[in-house]
Structure 1
Amino acid sequence: MSSGTFGITREKKIISSGARKVFTPHAPVDDISHFFGREEEASRFVSVINTDGLHVLVYGDRGVGKTSLAITTCRVLLQGIMKGGKYIEKRCDSSDTFESIALKVLQALEINHQNRETTQTTNEGGKASVKIPIVGAEVDSHRQSAVKILHQVNLSSPSWVAEQIQSKAGIFLIDEIDAVADKEDRKKLAELVKLLSDNKSQLKIVLVGIASTGADLTAGHPSIQRCLKEVHLKRMNDDDVRKIIHNGFKKIGQIPTEDVVKTITDISAGLPHFTHLICLKCAEASVISGNKHVGTDVLKAALNESVKDSENALKDSYTNCLHNFNKPHEYKIIVQGAAHCKGVEFRASDIQQQIKVFVKFDVDQKVVSRRLIAIAARADSIMEKCGRGYYRFVDPRMPSFVKMLHGADAQSAV
């Protein structure tokens, strides 16, 4: 079937299906009706943010759905519980500082952030005698004294910023705070949270970032623990991943087979980004074919499209690493076996077992160990040594990408 000029006919069908509203791999979920799984974490988030003096820090690995949880929950809070207030969102990058973040909230709340000068006039009154020919009289005498007052803006001061915004109501979501390079700027953010908490401000701060501990994102501020509650967002369990798959396809009138659901769940490994990505490509293919049933043939095509649509950093890291070896095919099998290992860390024996299961042949453990050491030794490697005999992927999303790349089938990796 022709897709029309520049694929416009195809695009119209996909847009009409609503698939890109339900499955959103490249943007956070921001509609409660499309938010599946994470009910427990969302409930805790609501409880914390709705408590006087408490603010929230959401942290975890890349791709676990931190921003989706934060945005969706904040909007539910403002609409259903807080009944008012403003929602302000700031996504940080490496150029951001405490001052640029403070400027965002001041502008959003329409608070004057320019130096200005005002004049305060004081009236001093009294009675003065005035001599007028023939008639003597007393009249009021007034003197005015004017004092100029300079209202100076100090965007670098957490206490000054807190004083300006503490009387406002709403939620200020600061996303990707790990991108803020200077630790002093992150300390100032923590100090701002503490000051707002001390003053029982109705403006709540939600910090979101990639980290293994909450202290990494607040630069270890010593006195923030009592007012900043941490929500460590871990990978989804398989049941929650299946919720995304089943509920998402149901919304657009499609039905995936159990084999498709199982494969997508396995590849996702608890990372909803990959769930959304593969489901979207399956949904698009089914819309074009006109078949509401999503089977393994659709899945195979969808995996190829998913790889093309994946983040360049993942594709480049994988390709550059393997292409540096004389026999990339052998190293590819090692990486494939590592991707199927359960848990974050693995040994050569674990990889050997996974190769046996998925590639269907035996490989000597010493060979696996030598290849594994060679991969981890490279400066630009996708793996690193994390203990005696133990290794892990540098980017926790890499195993999902590898399984997706090879169709979640070891035969396609050979």
Structure 2
Amino acid sequence: MSNGTFGIGRETRIVRSGARRVFTPHSPVDDISHFFGREEEASRFVSVINTEGQHVLVFGDRGVGKTSLAITTCRVLLQRVMGGGKYIEKRCDSSDTFESIVLNVLRALEIEHQNREMTQTTNRGGKASIKIPVAGAELDSHRQNAVKVLHQVSLSSPSWVAEQLQSKPGIFLIDEVDAVAGKEDRKKLAELVKLLSDNKSPLKVVLVGIASTGSDLTAGHPSVQRCLKEVQLKRMDDDDIKKIIRNGFKKLGQVPTEEVVTRITDISAGLPHFTHLICLKCAEASVVSGNKHIGSEVLTAALIESVKDSENALKDSYTNCLHSFNKPLEYKVIVLGAAQCKGSEFRAYDIRQQLQDRVGLDVEAAIISRRLTAIAAKAGGIIEKCGRGYYRFVDPRMPSFVKLLHGADKQSAA
């Protein structure tokens, strides 16, 4: 085999190239030298967290790069601004509670977090009088008392946790806060932030999660706004997406054509996850072939590999929705037109325009409207109605996946 047993030769070349350190679709960017396009948001993050009593809440849609911004900026802060301290990261899931989250930071900072019984010994001294027949005398008397006391831990109490943490310098990043199911648990996290702020703690808390508003992640805690500053990440603009593409390929010594840059930018639709995914597949193909020039042929092959490597939840939602109709191809065309629309909301008229301009199909608006209504009526559908005549994708990443799939389909058909 030219690539060695089980493709080991191919993998060895890719690993040595460093492509998977530059383009990281499946993990956050954690190296400042690979971080592009979020300078303005990073600057606000640094300014806020370096202010006494201030903590940070980073929120936005899935796939916009929230965790990458938070991790990269936190590490730069610790190294260059805050002068040290520990960096502790906790990624939440649906089983997490306030107690399980704070247990993570208590352990990392080696703070006692279990109830235990301790013995304290006290000495009591004094003069003891004794009487003897000849004379009276005083002797020194010492008594030792052993008292058992309980080291009381209260992991469910934000005030107790804040008391343990308030003198510890560092950053505690709590990622995917939206996964925490309990509203009371999110309120307690907000209360902990407020108490650390009140005590001017050198330990900074960074909350990261998927949300449309910051209050979604703090369960609407009323008094945390003054100390928990919001950094909302929206979709990146095209220039910043192109910066990721060009700078990444430049680091690898590879050269994409302008057509490739434009197509990747269009598919990404402001979501850096898809930029990294497609670029990685292009870079891998370039490394294996030894050709540093990345043209349309490399890109179209990379799109097929990108679809295979896409998140199963997206693939399953798309496939299940279309296959639930008798004529899935008709609905596939409508979904493709919707994916091409600019903005998060669209109408039947907007889809008709996109199909005319991009695919060369002229479909009546009334037919498109009926198909949209049918898709939105499906349980677990990929499109939902958001107003009179207006629709949107349930998952904001779906338009990019649909365009990615369309590009792969064209290559397969060819």
TM over 0.5: yes
What secondary structure is seen at the aligned counterpart in 1 of 2:120?
strand
Q: Aligned partners of 2:410, 2:190: CA distance in 1, in Å?
A: 47
Q: Which structure 2 residue ranges, 5 or more long, are not aligned? A: none
Shifted more, 181-190 versus 130-139: the winner is 130-139
8 Å contact 2:78–2:84 — kept in the other structure?
A: yes
- State the one-letter code of the partner of 1:290: G
Match runs of 1:65-76 below 5 Å = 65-76=65-76
CA contact (8 A) 1:406 1:412 kept: no
Give the drift of 1:165.
1.2
Q: CA deviation at 1:140?
A: 1.6
The yes-or-no answer on 1:197 pairing with 2:200 is no
Structure 1 Cα separation of the partners of residues 286 and 124 of structure 2: 83
User: Which residue of 2 is the match for residue 225 of structure 1?
Assistant: 225
**Is the Cα–Cα contact under 8 Å of residues 341 and 350 in structure 1 kept in the other structure?**
yes
Q: 1:411 to 1:252 in 2, by over 3 A?
A: closer
Look up the equivalent residue of 2:97 and give its one-letter code.
T
Cα pair 1:358 1:410 within 8 Å, conserved: no
C-alpha change, 1:186 and 1:216, in structure 2 (3 Å) is same
CA drift of 1:411 comes to 10
Superposition deviation, residue 154 in structure 1? 1.0
TM-score after normalising by structure 1: 0.97
Does the CA-based 8 Å contact 2:57-2:214 persist in structure 1?
yes
Tell me which residue corresponds to 1:129.
Answer: 129
Q: How far did residue 146 of structure 1 move?
A: 3.9
**Cα contact 2:300–2:411 (8 A) shared by 1:** no
How far 1:138 sits from its partner (Å)?
A: 2.1
Residues of 2 paired with 1:210 and 1:241: CA distance?
21
Residues in 1 aligned to 2:74 and 2:100: alpha-carbon distance in whole angstroms: 22
Quote the Cα distance in structure 1 between the aligned partners of 2:123 and 2:7. 76
Structure 2 counterpart of 1:86: 86
After the TM superposition, which parts of structure 1 deviate over 4 Å for at least 4 consecutive aligned residues?
132-136, 408-414
- Amino acid aligned to 1:130: I
Matched letter for residue 365 of structure 1: A
Indicate the SS of the match to 1:406. Answer: helix
Q: CA RMSD in A?
A: 1.7
The secondary structure found in structure 1 opposite 2:124 is strand
* Equivalence map 1:179-190=2 (5 Å): 179-190=179-190
Secondary structure of 1:223 counterpart: coil
How far is the alpha carbon of 1:131 from its aligned partner? 3.6
**Pair 1:160 & 2:160 matched:** yes
Aligned residues of 2:382 and 2:394 also touching (Cα < 8 A): yes
**Are 2:229 and 1:237 aligned?**
no
Which residue is 2:96 aligned to? 96
1:132-147 map, 5 Å? 132=132, 134=134, 136-147=136-147
- How many residues are treated as equivalent by the alignment? 414
Q: Which runs of 5+ in 1 are unaligned?
A: none
Helix, strand or coil at the partner of 2:407: coil
Identical pairs, percent: 81
Partner of 1:267: 267
Equivalent residue number for residue 395 of structure 2: 395
- Indicate the larger mover: 228-237 or 135-144: 135-144
> Take 1:257 and 1:266, find their aligned partners in 2: how far apart are those partners?
14
Q: CA deviation at 1:83?
A: 1.2
Using the TM superposition, give the Cα deviation of residue 223 of structure 1 relative to its aligned residue in structure 2, in angstroms. 0.5
Task: Output the amino acid matched with 1:124.
Answer: R
Task: Report the equivalent of 2:360.
Answer: 360
Partner of 1:36: 36
Tell me the distance in 1 between the aligned counterparts of 2:229 and 2:393.
Answer: 29
Q: Is the 8 A contact 2:130 2:138 kept in 1?
A: yes
Give distance in 2, aligned partners of 1:167 and 1:404: 49
Matched, 1:257 2:257: yes
CA contact (8 A) 1:58 1:66 kept: yes
The alpha carbon displacement at 1:309 in A equals 0.2
**Cα 1:56–1:76, aligned 2, differ >3 Å: closer, same or farther?**
same
Counterpart AA for 1:30: D
Between 134-143 and 76-85, report the one with greater CA deviation: 134-143
Deviation at 1:371, TM superposition (A): 1.2
Task: Output the CA distance in 1 between the equivalents of 2:210 and 2:247.
Answer: 28
TM-score, structure 2 as length reference:
0.97
Q: CA offsets, 1:346-397, max 9 Å, x none?
A: 0000000000011113111111111111111111210000000000000000
1:316 maps to which residue?
316
